[in-house]
Structure 1
């Protein structure tokens, strides 16, 4: 049995995978670049099969208690007058702040952590993988799983450079803490100028709000770990615009040490495994934030990967191949993100006018409700791979 497994990345996919592997008798280590588990982030949706996974983990009741209670999206003009609203409430799913979900996963996961560290080199042979870390002494593991996001180090080391797999979707985005008084309770409020969006996300159950920025652009060259450079890029795009509440939201965001910036992108791969190394979560299939499916894919994918390893008694060749086969159809569906970006960020003033007019129609909410019901109806139950080992 391949007993010792290194998981690179301590977010939703990595912790969910560690939870299930430990329950099935494997020994896990999670290496995380940050000095502790990251508590920031925006709202994420636990829906469809991910609800079933959370129920089996025993955390779904707590997920519901910590729900954001956001009703939908509101589009406003420069005088803060609501020009359209879209109800996004779905009784079959729960939105929770990413940091809250990570904390819940940590509570139910028994694993070794290596914080303030990352993988530098991976050398695999017939018996395992020799892992060289940035800080800790080198160690051997039977298997390595990359759960380290769209800019995955494990993917680069084991599969090739990032540009082979990441598809840029013409936009960049940022989010950070914001003054809650600037937004309406229980709504995501958005203001558009052509090719740009500024917004505020205000949960009904959290005192802290989130500022959002998104802009259309050609590809930019920057260091994806340099937060100061990220703030400069957002400042250059939005600092000269005094419309609506852009100035106040920008000042709040640029003062936040947990400011987050990235490209809107998708990860497209023909295979998520190479020998004894596999990928899970955004490292394997990032569908982009516009899909709204990141947490769902992470929870279900981690459950599938751990379950297939358990069902195969640790035989990674069989398990990795089966994991890819059973999870790929869901990933392919969720990567079809449809008109979400065009709705949030019309390219022209005319496009914004049409978006607002369409959003005011009752048909928009009816279509959204129908789509959610069809998804729920077409969601099959996940397999119960095996009882946890004593």
Structure 2
């Protein structure tokens, strides 16, 4: 198999690289390098810089307002974004609900919601997991009961990323009790300003606030906010989760992490340690394997199509590799790791000038990566999917 890029692809790469070097907001790159948490304003400033070039909806087909790029161009763009240390787009609108809307929504729904995603004026959250319904998402119990032209929504969603910033949330809600738990689930879009919605922050072990609990108490939602048919939400959710699980690879970002680890190890004299070098070499080899797997997956996905069950393979190997890279990153700083341990929200602890510059971000990355093998469907569940749907076991 030939994984080399054509001269046209490389010309495209130079155009994208020039954008990140000369047009993308430099202050956001510097903030991300410090390990500080981006604000809603940071996300929107970043995404509007992409939108100004028509480069925001990288994975969308042209017919829906996307770039219409080839698989190679999408991959190159992601590579250069992470190489530059820029802020990744918020996935909930662009990668998750957007494709569901333009694939399954009505023309009116597309006109209503897609423009706000494309110009980064509407911020979305994902309401899937519940207390007691995480990897076994089909067991969810948050309900939507028909009342005239509306649904009345009650229940709680948890681990809801960036809900504190969200204008809208897309939710899976139970609209009927069926014999098969995957049935009777409906895909509903909800305005976060609707009375009865409460957002409670969850501060994670890395000291950051990105997760939340969202409670719905008799929240009235128009039936016109339902995507597709009532009771068919599980079908749309599986389509969305394919997009979600292929978004974890971040090959270029991982390469940058490994370069930073190698440089920090050189400064600390660790490159003379055979055990350390072996660990670093193994991670670099595994990253090469991940990259080839990503390229194979991208080449098999038609424009606008949904990734298949192979996305579970990417999710497992990408998240396990992310955890191992950040573990070596923390190990690199040795005795500086404990003083760098965050005890408050990130901006308060990233400015410790007594530490090596990379120590605090390395510890934050290590702690934050612990959750990667859990969210988006735990890796144990993904391995079951691989065994049943790919290997036929």
- Shared topology, TM-score over 0.5? no
Q: Hey, which of these two has a bigger chunk of strand by percent? A: 1
Question: Which protein has greater RCO, CA pairs closer than 8 Å, 6+ apart?
Answer: 1
Q: Hey, which of these two has a bigger chunk of helix by percent? A: 2
TM-score when normalising by structure 1: 0.29
